[in-house]
Chain A
Amino acid sequence: SQELEQSPQSLIVQEGKNLTINCTSSKTLYGLYWYKQKYGEGLIFLMMLQKGGEEKSHEKITAKLDEKKQQSSLHITASQPSHAGIYLCGAAPDDNYGQNFVFGPGTRLSVLP
């Protein structure tokens, strides 16, 4: 079965600093999704990547999927306290996107003002 690993497990940065979170898959990714979760709440969809080499940006967050489609990175530029939360990558293990969707364990981000 497919497994997703995330690094780092947790991250504390000063406001204004840049940071990168990584997600690595044991198998080829058919679709890679990034979500953000605040404690005790549901997941908020950020971005989806599907093609090798694809890159997407939303506000100060950029996500990339490598050419081999087994690793993705999420980069935050000039971090703000509002960026704090848990970032989760999720993936479809095959082209049947609904079935057996898997998530990584998450990266907990704290941004100090």
Chain B
Amino acid sequence: DTGVSQDPRHKITKRGQNVTFRCDPISEHNRLYWYRQTLGQGPEFLTYFQNEAQLEKSRLLSNRFSAERPKGSFSTLEIQRTEQGDSAMYLCASSYQGGNQPQHFGDGTRLSIL
């Protein structure tokens, strides 16, 4: 049983650099979600896809953040010109479409900005 996979697990970069994270969802799931989680807080919704369509992106934190899911399978989250405040855990989740299907999460990518 393959769960949600995220790569890399940890990323350390200098301020101003661009970073890209990858998420491979559970293969049968057509919905994919991105969240950000800071220490001591619950995950904060960023965006989600249904197949290749990005249905909600108004919650992305700034125009430096962008996400893609070009073939409706894996997804990438890119942060351009990183800032200190971008340091956080970035979580990906996937689910079946429709109704109240629970989201299943990967182990996240921890981003540290020097």
Given contacts A92-B100, A104-B42, contact A43 B33 (CB under 8 A): no
Interface size on A, residues (CB 8 A): 26
Partner among B6, B42, B48, B104 whose Cβ is within 8 Å of the Cβ of A105: B42
Chain A stretch 78-106: residues in CB contact (< 8 A) with chain B = 88, 90, 92, 97-106
Chain B residues near A48 (CB-CB < 8 A): 100, 102
A106 CB, min distance to chain B CBs, angstroms: 5
B107 to A41, Cβ gap below 8 A? Answer: yes
A90 to B42, Cβ gap below 8 A? Answer: yes
A101 to B33, Cβ gap below 8 A? Answer: yes
Chain B residues near A50 (CB-CB < 8 A): 100
Highest count of chain B CB atoms <10 Å: which of A50, A90, A97: A97
A1 CB, min distance to chain B CBs, angstroms: 10
Given contacts A31-B100, A33-B102, contact A102 B45 (CB under 8 A): yes
Chain B stretch 16-67: residues in CB contact (< 8 A) with chain A = 31, 33, 40-45, 48, 50, 55-56, 59
B100 CB, min distance to chain A CBs, angstroms: 4
Chain B residues near A88 (CB-CB < 8 A): 42-43
Asked whether any CB of chain B lies closer than 8 Å to the CB of A113, the reply is no
A40 to B33, Cβ gap below 8 A? Answer: no
Closest Cβ neighbor of B3 among chain A residues: A42
- As a 0/1 sequence over residues 89 to 109 of chain B, the CB contacts with chain A under 8 angstroms (1 = contact) are 101010100111111111110
**What residues of chain A have their CB less than 8 Å away from a CB belonging to chain B?**
4, 30-31, 33, 35, 40-45, 48, 50, 88, 90, 92, 97-106
